[in-house]
Chain A
Amino acid sequence: MIHFYHVTKKFDRYSTALHDVTFHLEKGEFAFLTGASGAGKSTLLKLILREMLPTEGQVVVNGRNLNAMKKRHLPFFRREIGMVFQDFKLIERMTVFENLSFILTVLNVSPKEHKKKAYAALRAVNLQHKLNAYPLQLSGGEQQRVAIARALINDPLILIGDEPTGNLDPDLSAEMIQIFSDAHLRGSTVLLATHDRELIRSSDRRVITLDKGRISRMEGGETHIENEPRPSGTPFLSASGSK
């Protein structure tokens, strides 16, 4: 579902945020992405959402080579990904309900269903009473849970979280991980970036560890594919045939 082939990302000549990263996340997998602050976790997730393009290498997500994707296809591609952004990215001008309603509009969900779906999504994160609050009237943790509700609202094919429990206390964190697990059971492929070792240890999920832009460890996955040779002659699109 998510395939990185020798991906390097440089922001300027002197620093490399990601260095020759190759990994595969198959459909239905649940993995943690971990590493120290500045290791390149956010950069990797941004590449998946095609917020930016890699300097070198290929990223294939949901069968599509992101380097080759047409700009007009980008919105439709992104609709299949539920993303919990590190900085939440809620629309401050809109209430919690309107934020969720907007995403449902984006997803072409009939307006008749907005109330019901938004309420259900907020219930899942225990924030149904904040329906009419504005994001800035909420605590960091509450905003984060709204962001989680938004990412989950329409059962995305791929669920990505950038430190999705970074602002939550341990109990709530565990609760949120349970929500992600439920989404995983419903069929989403999940990748969560976190530096919370406790959280990772308490679950026995696959873990990909980044260190200064390189993959230093992969644990728990079925396949161990560090330094896999580039499949010669095969188009990258076909690499997703397994999903």
Chain B
Amino acid sequence: MAREFNRLNEPDVPSSTATYFFREALRRIWTSKRSSFVAISMIAISLLIVGIFMLIAENLEHTVEQWQGRSRVNVYFASDATGAQIAALRAHLASRSQLAKHRFVTREEALKRFREYFASVSNLVSQLDENPFPPSFEIEVTPEFIQSPAFNQEMAAVRASPGVEYVQFDWDWLARMRRLVDVINLAGLIAGGILAIAAAFTIANVIRLTMMLYREEIEIMRLVGATERLIRGPFLVEGILQGTLGGALAVGLLYAAFLAVRNTLDPSQSLLFGFLVGTFLPWQKIAMLVAGGTLAGWFGSWLSVRER
């Protein structure tokens, strides 16, 4: 009798049943190809949308970082600034290690540069009697310095220096770009999240349908002593597989779209938009997308399997 009672408490799903779960799940996906296809597509589309947002945000962020990497502060003098004032600031800059990489740009050099950059409108400038460009210092700063509190103090000191009219730095603009990246990421996550939940419910319905189809068989399984875990395992795996396949499909579609946009982009537009298709997602984010599919699939099947 002890033997029989011990049998009541043995673990009900040995590792070998994993094979059974997978084989059965694949078979069921194949049996109900059409509804499986719908479920997988739903997941793929939701995650593709998340992926598009992620990709845009990724590239924007990349660009922002590149700009920030060679950040430059421009210190413009007033047109009536004296040589002594300029010399004083030069001495000050030389004394600060963080501002040591600087270069003086004369009025003539500024005008020359403008003519080179904007050749089409340069005759407009040549009509002017006087050179409108003030002299300036260009200071190269490191991103770490920009983000340190010392940066604002140093800039305030430069701004207060006599003869200085305007200190220009792209900090605000970069900060705004960073915020935009966050917003895009969030928008993608919200839109994708809603769609993924919808997709999870589609999976839940597909699996509920399969379960209905297999109702008789499930009853037989119970009668011959199958545990609920053994009965429901394949359905859970079915959902997880559908979700994961959907996630993988989304990554594949995203990469195809990425390559397509990159290769068909007109050179004239590539200046404007090219930076948006600079890099593909890093592997961590690819893994996140696929895992999102897995999670949605698991959630969907869990929903339908949970109820008796």
Contact-residue bracket for chain A: 20 to 34
Q: How far is the CA of A76 from the CA of B9 in the complex (A)?
A: 8
Query: When A49-B223, A51-B223, A75-B222 are in contact, do A105 and B4 touch as well, CB less than 8 Å?
Result: no
Determine how close the nearest CB of chain A comes to the CB of B282; give it in whole angstroms: 40
Q: How far is the CA of A89 from the CA of B17 in the complex (A)?
A: 22
Contact B225 A78 (CB under 8 A): yes
Contact B225 A108 (CB under 8 A): no
Across the A-B interface, how many residue pairs have beta carbons closer than 8 Å?
71
A170 adjacent to chain B (CB < 8 Å): no
Interface size (B, Cβ < 8 Å)?
Answer: 26
Contact A80 B4 (CB under 8 A): yes
B20 adjacent to chain A (CB < 8 Å): yes
Q: How far is the CA of A103 from the CA of B230 in the complex (A)?
A: 11
CB-defined contacts of A90 to chain B, threshold 8 Å = 220
Query: When A80-B4, A110-B16 are in contact, do A75 and B220 touch as well, CB less than 8 Å?
Result: no
CB-defined contacts of B17 to chain A, threshold 8 Å = 105
B1 adjacent to chain A (CB < 8 Å): yes
Query: When A75-B226, A157-B4 are in contact, do A108 and B220 touch as well, CB less than 8 Å?
Result: no
Contact A106 B221 (CB under 8 A): yes
Q: How far is the CA of A70 from the CA of B63 in the complex (A)?
A: 63
- A49 (CB) vs chain B CBs: closest residue: B223
A21 adjacent to chain B (CB < 8 Å): no
Ranked nearest first, the 4 interchain pairs of A and B with the lowest CB-CB distance are A79-B225, A78-B225, A75-B227, A76-B8
- Please name 16 pairs of A and B residues whose Cβ atoms are closer than 8 Å in the assembled complex, sorted by A: A75-B12, A76-B225, A77-B8, A79-B224, A80-B225, A83-B223, A83-B224, A89-B220, A90-B220, A105-B20, A106-B225, A106-B226, A106-B230, A108-B10, A111-B19, A157-B4
Interface residues of A (CB under 8 A from B): 49, 51, 62-63, 73-81, 83, 85, 89-93, 102-103, 105-108, 110-111, 150, 157, 240, 243
